[in-house]
Structure 1
Amino acid sequence: MDADMDYERPNVETIKCVVVGDNAVGKTRLICARACNATLTQYQLLATHVPTVWAIDQYRVCQEVLERSRDVVDEVSISLRLWDTFGDHHKDRRFAYGRSDVVVLCFSIANPNSLNHVKTMWYQEIKHFCPRTPVILVGCQLDLRYADLEAVNRARRPLARPIKRGDILPPERGREVAKELGIPYYETSVFDQFGIKDVFDNAIRAALISRRHLQFWKSHLKKVQKPLLQAPFLPPKAPPPVIKIPENPVTNMNESGYLLDNPLCADVMFVLQDQNHIFAHKIYLATSSSKFYDLFLLECEESPDFSETQCSTDKTSRDFLSSTSHLETVDDIDDAILATLKTSNDKLSTPESDGTSKMLELETEEGSSARRALSSLGKGFVSMHKEIQINPVSNRTCPVTVVKMDSSVQPGPFKTVLQFLYAGQLDENEKDLTRLAQIAEILEVFDLRMMVENIMNKEAFMNQEITKAFHVRKANRIKECLCKGTFSDVTFKLDDGSINAHKPLLICSCEWMSAMFGGSFVESSNSEVVLPNINKTSMQAILDYLYTKQLSSSQELDMLELIALANRFCLPHLVALAEQHAVQELTKASGNGIGVDGEVLSYLEWAQFHNANQLAAWCLHYICTNYNSVCSKFRKEIKAKSPDNQEYFERHRWPPVWYLKEEDHYQRVKKEREKEDIALNKHHSKRKWCFWNSSPLVA
């Protein structure tokens, strides 16, 4: 009933607008955007096309649609009735064309064929059925001009024809066809809600002007303007890429418990009852247990013979290595070293040397200071000395600290204690909890003792907090050992200094280090490793990360050098952290008004060369979104970039080239129209002056 009343209202102009065009060019979605204010996501808009036709009955059954059909254009009240049509060329649309006031002819800017059909099929059909009806040409799906076409094609149905970059039509193509046909041209994007009002308001104007010529007595139509120009659409800036931090990959080599079963670079051997041997690593035990920390620290502080003999052993090894350079295999060298070291130890232990035995036994003389210090640690330890042993994994000879345990320490529970000290976890299904608690009590591993009690009391859920506190303390002790070089077993020789480190921690944290120290390389048995072209600050940051999994906050650290070094050591997680930090610093500086254009240009190809792909993508985005300012200052640097980068700049620069051309055309045509309007107003003013100043006699 309300729909019929619009036809009867005085001074309310009812406009019938017919929308035609090929299938899947966006006709129905354009109509729904105007009639229903429908807003959809981009991927809903670009999903599989379902042939639909907007039903004219919606004006009768939907009050909201009826209300939105009413509008005021140039002080004229109108009621807009939209008619959708099939896009199939063979369908009969003569009923839709009947008594139409304006026709909106649509094509898709991503489908050149749809624009070709405008001239060859649609415009001829329109002029056949309604020759005097004004026509508006509309390019739909404008957002595809700057969209990510790969994402768009993924959202479409599998058998759909993919949209190619070459299919996207520039604005001048549509404008040329419109000029050839003598009709106005507009562009729309339902996704960006751009151009919808422009299209239908100017379609209404075209219809009202045509009606004014036929119904000249309607004075309220005198103020209707001819279809206005459409300002070009400036696409939004693409959002900057988000730096994603990947999960740190965890493999068997990354788990510290792996080293207990496969004791690469082991420097401790525990001797238990029945001559059972268990190899371990000082750095893991000392950072997990205060008692082991004191034990191994005692070796360094109260036993100067240890360090002196170790130094002489290392010197003998190095001298012998130089004298056996003719040997062909590493195993031959190891055998030779072992024979020489045994000979030197025999000489040291003979009474003829200096009357004092220098075998590395802490229990050589009863009541000695070293033995008293060892006994002060309490139960569990019997003796400790240095020996040359063959590593069971690498089959290399190396000095180890041999610790003989008390008979009360049994192999099974003791191995479980060591597993806890390495990994910080306890299996709830452990069978011999009583003996495990006893060993933990003897070795003063109180965290483990409490966890065993919780399991026995059915309160295992409380162990999570104990495990958390254990890892925090262990991390702090590892940091301390890194800073002081305590218990270190390798020294990195760098361009500007040296840094002490710990092979077991490096093996568990980095596959590159694991291959170097755990494989058949010479570095696996050396206490010094030369790393050329690396400075101390960058290497310290690498070690900080490998030990703590955190990025160093040193102000002297150069992020580009760190990225290059992290890529060299195959640490993608650290590369991502460095990329994130670099982007944050650049963004902060740019936000404070500090120019970073030149810095970003220098970052770009460095990041690409060292596989910092996220930082490179951010630099590309920054240069493209600030292309005019960057190019004005650094034109030579831009031209010096690789062809691939320059091609990327041209394709993704903002504002895009097509927009700049459209803006120039819009401003030029706008000035021409203003001149025409001024000239027309002068002409009308002159006619009025002549009319009022003319006299019958003169006439």
Structure 2
Amino acid sequence: RSDVVVLCFSLANPNSLRHVKTMWYPEIKHFCPRTPIVLVGCQLDLRYADLDAVNRARRPLAKPIKPSDILPPERGHEVAQELGVPYYETSVVAQFGVKDVFDNAIRAALVSRRHLQFWKSHLRKMQRPLLQAPFLPPKPPPPLIQVPDAPPGLGGGPAALFQAPLCADVVFQLQGGHRVFAHRIYLATACSRFYDLFTLEGPPESLGQGDGTTRDLSSWGRGFLSLRWELVTDPVAGRERRMAVVAMDRGVRPEPLRAVLEYLYTGKLERPHGDLRQVGAVAELLEVFDLRMMVANELNQESFMNQEITKAFHVRRANRVKECLAKGVFADVVFRVDDGAVPAHKPLLIAGCDWMRAMFRGGFRESYADEVSLPGTNCACLRAVLDFLYTGVFTPTPDLDAMELLILTDRLCLPRLQALTEQYAVDELLRAFMQRVEIDEQVIIYLEMTQFHNARQLAAWCLHYICTNYNRVCRRF
């Protein structure tokens, strides 16, 4: 004879609860009519678990659990009330309810013995099975900040900028009247020879000063004849701009030169194999030695070695671009912000940001102005944006305000930088939280601002924080 029967079913299997009513309860009542029964719903943790992760762990042996299979607490209570038995829910994983089941099963067994003469006096004060305290679900994991891939954008990057040289500031004059337009910042950061060339003589202070003055380069290096500054019509905008005119030696042909310059923009060798020897000759003449090595590898059918050359090219360029940004070398525009001025480079901005491309390409006043007013932001935020547009890497600084940067990224339509800034803001909040710094007020401020400036991922994180710490936040505010 049993003292008590614990009748279990799975909260993730509706059929098991159905069998409780149709199969197990009638059988127990048939063989043990006076034995108390305790109904127990098992696997309570699955009600709040990530079912996708659970199903991946159960494959391929078990049937996947669907969200519709999870039974709510009301279903178990309804069956228990219909059968007239106490009901409890348990989870071995969460260590919840197991002790309640055994304690109350003992109570049910002892109460059922009151009819015996020996136990009447001893069990007079024994309570019936108690109600179970509600289960406190575990805190859901915070939402992850998803950083999107870099979009190609309308600008198309450096390659498209070379094909349509908007805001060009250097033109190479070849024999036969051929002209090739380019940008000093791209050439100087990719090749030391061009960096030395463009730092020999800077642009004149005014349009009249220095125009027509020619510097002889025949003794300075092979391939170059002279350098002078003059007004040249922009091939894209059709407006006159001050450009460095570099006269080239007659041995430099247009197509090989364009191949060399395109490599200095992109770091890739994308030319037909038929003119590779001419490209290699011009690269050696202009001292672009890494391109000369790539051409040699292509001719020797060892192109797999070019991957390391390309990696080194981009690392070297990123370092030189950062140096030019810090020193303002080759800058052709100055942004006026609330707390100062920041020099910048139009070609790099056009290649990395559609907003900048539209501003400098259209008929706006900013397209030909040397200074552009950008109110509502500060130098630290703008430098962070420029550093990202130049190198593709977000590098936060100690004086950077995440909320101010989010406002600027929303203004400039930079979703990738916005996501990186949201991740930076979350990391800063978590770091302060781990140091026992009160962040409730900061989270509420962030929530209001992020909803206004389209930072939806950070807004979702702030809502999660407020919901999981609701009582503490309400006590303070």
Per the TM superposition, whether the score is higher than 0.5 is yes
- 1:631 matched residue in structure 2: 474
- 2:181 matched residue in structure 1: 279
Give matches, 1:555-594, under 5 Å.
555-594=398-437
Give matches, 1:265-344, under 5 Å.
265-300=167-202, 306-310=203-207, 312=208
Q: CA shift at 1:422, angstroms?
A: 0.3
- 1:375 matched residue in structure 2: 218
Matched, 1:442 2:285: yes
Question: In the aligned structure 1, how far is the partner of 2:345 from the partner of 2:116?
Answer: 95
Amino acid at match of 1:554: T
Question: In structure 2, do the counterparts of structure 1 residues 507 and 587 end up closer, same or farther at CA, with 3 Å as the change threshold?
Answer: same
Amino acid at match of 1:379: R
Question: In the aligned structure 2, how far is the partner of 1:435 from the partner of 1:148?
Answer: 61
Q: Deviations over 1:461-492 (max 9, x none)?
A: 22222111111111111111111211111111
Give matches, 1:631-650, under 5 Å.
631-633=474-476, 635=477
Q: CA shift at 1:532, angstroms?
A: 1.8
Amino acid at match of 1:537: A
> How many residue pairs were aligned?
466
Question: In structure 2, do the counterparts of structure 1 residues 602 and 98 end up closer, same or farther at CA, with 3 Å as the change threshold?
Answer: closer
- 2:440 matched residue in structure 1: 597
Question: In the aligned structure 2, how far is the partner of 1:609 from the partner of 1:417?
Answer: 47
SS at match of 2:227: strand
Is the Cα–Cα contact under 8 Å of residues 6 and 38 in structure 2 kept in the other structure? no
Q: Deviations over 1:507-550 (max 9, x none)?
A: 11111111111233332222221112222222122212212223
Matched, 1:617 2:460: yes
> Which structure shows the higher helix fraction?
1
TM-score, with normalisation over the residues of structure 1?
Answer: 0.59
- 1:244 matched residue in structure 2: 146
Amino acid at match of 1:236: P
Question: In the aligned structure 2, how far is the partner of 1:408 from the partner of 1:257?
Answer: 25
Amino acid at match of 2:381: S
Q: CA shift at 1:388, angstroms?
A: 2.6
> Gaps (5+ residues) in structure 1?
1-6, 8-12, 20-26, 31-44, 54-83, 102-129, 301-305, 314-357, 363-369, 636-699
Q: CA shift at 1:216, angstroms?
A: 6.9
- 2:108 matched residue in structure 1: 206
Question: In structure 2, do the counterparts of structure 1 residues 587 and 85 end up closer, same or farther at CA, with 3 Å as the change threshold?
Answer: closer
Question: In structure 2, do the counterparts of structure 1 residues 189 and 508 end up closer, same or farther at CA, with 3 Å as the change threshold?
Answer: same
- 2:351 matched residue in structure 1: 508
- 1:99 matched residue in structure 2: 30
Question: In the aligned structure 2, how far is the partner of 1:439 from the partner of 1:446?
Answer: 10
Q: Deviations over 1:428-468 (max 9, x none)?
A: 85322221111011100011111122222332222222111
Question: In the aligned structure 2, how far is the partner of 1:231 from the partner of 1:202?
Answer: 13
Question: In the aligned structure 1, how far is the partner of 2:206 from the partner of 2:363?
Answer: 27
Q: Deviations over 1:150-203 (max 9, x none)?
A: 999xx976xx9799xxx96689x949x978986434234577463356446644
Q: CA shift at 1:141, angstroms?
A: 7.3
Question: In structure 2, do the counterparts of structure 1 residues 457 and 428 end up closer, same or farther at CA, with 3 Å as the change threshold?
Answer: farther
- 1:493 matched residue in structure 2: 336
Question: In the aligned structure 2, how far is the partner of 1:448 from the partner of 1:139?
Answer: 71
- 1:262 matched residue in structure 2: 164
SS at match of 1:481: helix
Of 120, 124, 129 in structure 2, the residue corresponding to residue 227 of structure 1 is 129
Question: In the aligned structure 1, how far is the partner of 2:333 from the partner of 2:242?
Answer: 13
Question: In the aligned structure 1, how far is the partner of 2:429 from the partner of 2:5?
Answer: 56
Question: In the aligned structure 2, how far is the partner of 1:532 from the partner of 1:95?
Answer: 79
Amino acid at match of 1:257: A
Is the Cα–Cα contact under 8 Å of residues 450 and 456 in structure 2 kept in the other structure? yes
Q: Deviations over 1:296-353 (max 9, x none)?
A: 11221xxxxx51443x48xxxxxxxxxxxxxxxxxxxxxxxxxxxxxxxxxxxxxxxx
Is the Cα–Cα contact under 8 Å of residues 142 and 461 in structure 2 kept in the other structure? yes
Structure showing greater radius of gyration is 1
Is the Cα–Cα contact under 8 Å of residues 154 and 354 in structure 2 kept in the other structure? no
Question: In the aligned structure 2, how far is the partner of 1:582 from the partner of 1:18?
Answer: 51
- 1:360 matched residue in structure 2: 212
Amino acid at match of 1:99: H
Of 450, 460, 463 in structure 1, the residue corresponding to residue 303 of structure 2 is 460
Question: In the aligned structure 2, how far is the partner of 1:197 from the partner of 1:607?
Answer: 46
- 1:184 matched residue in structure 2: 86
Is the Cα–Cα contact under 8 Å of residues 332 and 344 in structure 2 kept in the other structure? yes
SS at match of 2:273: coil
Question: In structure 2, do the counterparts of structure 1 residues 507 and 383 end up closer, same or farther at CA, with 3 Å as the change threshold?
Answer: same
Is the Cα–Cα contact under 8 Å of residues 153 and 354 in structure 2 kept in the other structure? no
Question: In the aligned structure 1, how far is the partner of 2:370 from the partner of 2:459?
Answer: 38
Is the Cα–Cα contact under 8 Å of residues 413 and 432 in structure 1 kept in the other structure? yes
Matched, 1:86 2:19: yes
Question: In the aligned structure 2, how far is the partner of 1:168 from the partner of 1:608?
Answer: 34
Matched, 1:391 2:234: yes
Question: In the aligned structure 2, how far is the partner of 1:229 from the partner of 1:623?
Answer: 31
Q: CA shift at 1:607, angstroms?
A: 1.8
Is the Cα–Cα contact under 8 Å of residues 498 and 536 in structure 1 kept in the other structure? yes
Is the Cα–Cα contact under 8 Å of residues 428 and 455 in structure 1 kept in the other structure? no
Amino acid at match of 1:572: P
Question: In the aligned structure 2, how far is the partner of 1:606 from the partner of 1:85?
Answer: 51
Question: In structure 2, do the counterparts of structure 1 residues 528 and 287 end up closer, same or farther at CA, with 3 Å as the change threshold?
Answer: same
Question: In the aligned structure 2, how far is the partner of 1:615 from the partner of 1:134?
Answer: 53
Identical pairs, percent: 51
SS at match of 1:375: coil
Question: In structure 2, do the counterparts of structure 1 residues 94 and 146 end up closer, same or farther at CA, with 3 Å as the change threshold?
Answer: closer
User: For the aligned residues, what is the CA RMSD?
Assistant: 3.8
Is the Cα–Cα contact under 8 Å of residues 6 and 40 in structure 2 kept in the other structure? no
Question: In the aligned structure 2, how far is the partner of 1:93 from the partner of 1:291?
Answer: 88
- 2:381 matched residue in structure 1: 538
Question: In the aligned structure 2, how far is the partner of 1:16 from the partner of 1:148?
Answer: 32
Question: In the aligned structure 1, how far is the partner of 2:322 from the partner of 2:457?
Answer: 30
Question: In structure 2, do the counterparts of structure 1 residues 268 and 179 end up closer, same or farther at CA, with 3 Å as the change threshold?
Answer: same
